[in-house]
Amino acid sequence: MKKITQKKAQGHIEVIISFVIFLGFLVFLIIIFKPFKTPINPGIFDSVLLNLDKKVGVSIKSISINLKNNPVNCITFNNPNLVSSDTGAGCTPQTIIIKDQDGNILQSNLIDNTFYINTNTKTFFTIYCGSSLEATQTSLNGCTELTSPDYILGIVVEENLWSMEKLSSFSSQYQSDYTSLKNEIVTKSNDFGLVVSDLNSDIIFSMKTKIPRSIEVSSKTISKEIIDKTASTKIIKADILIW
């Protein structure tokens, strides 16, 4: 009788051990696959994009100038309103780049609200101003002085673009200090990645921290215009990843 009771007790222990092992395995699967993880809220992409705009975005102002008279090699004109940050483009000697209609950077200088531009006999050009631009000032002499009737100013256009240089710094921080950067971009319960490529799908920046296996990754692709320090722009694709 005792042997039967012992066998029953041993059988019960084996059942309990088997159940504990099964329960442990079940918990392991839940931890790995996270079947009850809250789905990604579609609105989180809007929040992430807004934070990305703050982190890598820059404001660029531009204005076109059209000469009325025959082209000359060098012009100069005084226009305080154009320099003013309130009424004009807010140009400073360190933040101004001037290009002709073919996109070539022109030699220029800005001194006390007076512009000096080597036009290369072109009659139409664009002034770009923004803190992300890297201007090179050139001393110009013998320029033809213009007054308001000699040229036509377009309207000041302000654009918020992504900066190539800021994206580069952002990518470096992603690789070196992801935890701190994450707190600025996404909620604590989520992680994010960003892949930037050109329109030929050639990758420019790839920012993807290690993604656990079997984790569902939500993504959204957007188009953005980026600008570099020479005021050259292009359209890129940005894949925002959230998990």
Q: Is the pLDDT of residue 36 over 60?
A: no
Which H or E run contains 66?
strand 57-67
pLDDT at 82: 85
Rounded to 5 degrees, φ, ψ at 37 are -65, 135
pLDDT in tens, 80-93: 888 887 778 888 88
The label of the residue with tokens 């600008």 reads 227
Shortest CA distance to 160 belongs to which of 64, 240, 87, 56? Answer: 56
Indicate the DSSP class of residue 33. Answer: H
Average pLDDT, the chain: 87
Which residues are CB-neighbours of 58 under 8 A, at least 6 positions away? 130, 131, 132, 160, 161, 162, 163, 166, 227
pLDDT at 185 over 60: yes
Q: State residue 216's pLDDT score.
A: 86
Which pLDDT belongs to residue 25? 59
Please tell me the predicted confidence (pLDDT) of residue 45: 94
DSSP line for 162-230: EEHHHHHHHHHHHHH-HHHHHHHHS-TT--EEEEEE-TT--EEEEE-PPPPTT---EEEEEEEEEE-TT
CA angle (181, 167, 44) in 5-degree steps? 50
| pLDDT tens sequence across 188-232 | 889 999 999 999 999 999 999 888 887 889 999 999 999 999 999
CB 129, CB 95: distance < 8 Å: yes
C-alpha–C-alpha distance, residues 212 and 189, integer Å: 14
Domains of the chain, residue spans = 1-36, 41-56+163-242, 59-160
